[in-house]
Chain A
């Protein structure tokens, strides 16, 4: 089955700096990945997704990089703002059931 995890449970960055949140997965057949943001007391919110036929995808202030060789993806947030403080999850699609498997999350804290 699919295993999706995150490298660090917590990450602190200074306001204005760039943030990089990492995620590893185990199933080489995984072909789709999503990043979610979850603020305290709220449900996960879609940020950006990427298919396995891509190495990079950019959104507004966010970039996702996919390295299929080492089964790793990262979420980069440019010019991190206080409103970016949240838990960030990656999720991968794979396995015979074709369901999303979620990592445990990284708590991003933006320092003033």
Chain B
């Protein structure tokens, strides 16, 4: 069955370190998204991509970057982790022209 996976599921890192969170989908969806989820804020969009080599900034993109070298993967990099980036991160994907997004299981990140 097609699915979307994230790794690691849990990560503890230190302030200033570079961290990369992986997202892999086998739906063959062109659209992929990264969100963060914090108490009281709902899901907030970090970056998104509509296809290979396409990346766009979302609402809360500062301190994050993404790259899209193939259809299946959209890794999220925290260039220099900050305590304010402690959060749960969700990756999602959708078909081109379809707004229904399918979410991965999430990565819980703690920055000390």
Contacts of A89 in B (CB 8 A): 42-43
The smallest beta-carbon distance between A79 and chain B, in angstroms, is 25
Would you call B100 and A34 a contact (CB within 8 A)? yes
Q: Which residues of A approach B to under 8 Å, CB–CB?
A: 4, 32, 34, 36, 41-46, 49, 89, 91, 93, 99-100, 102-105
Residues facing A in B79-103 (CB within 8 A) are: 90, 92, 99-103
Residues facing A in B1-55 (CB within 8 A) are: 35, 40-45, 48
Would you call A99 and B103 a contact (CB within 8 A)? no
Q: Which residues of B approach A to under 8 Å, CB–CB?
A: 35, 40-45, 48, 58, 90, 92, 99-106
A91 to B100, CA, bound (A): 10
| A34 and B99 in contact, given A44-B90, A99-B58 (Cβ under 8 angstroms) | yes
Would you call B99 and A44 a contact (CB within 8 A)? no
The smallest beta-carbon distance between A93 and chain B, in angstroms, is 6
Contacts of A99 in B (CB 8 A): 45, 48, 58
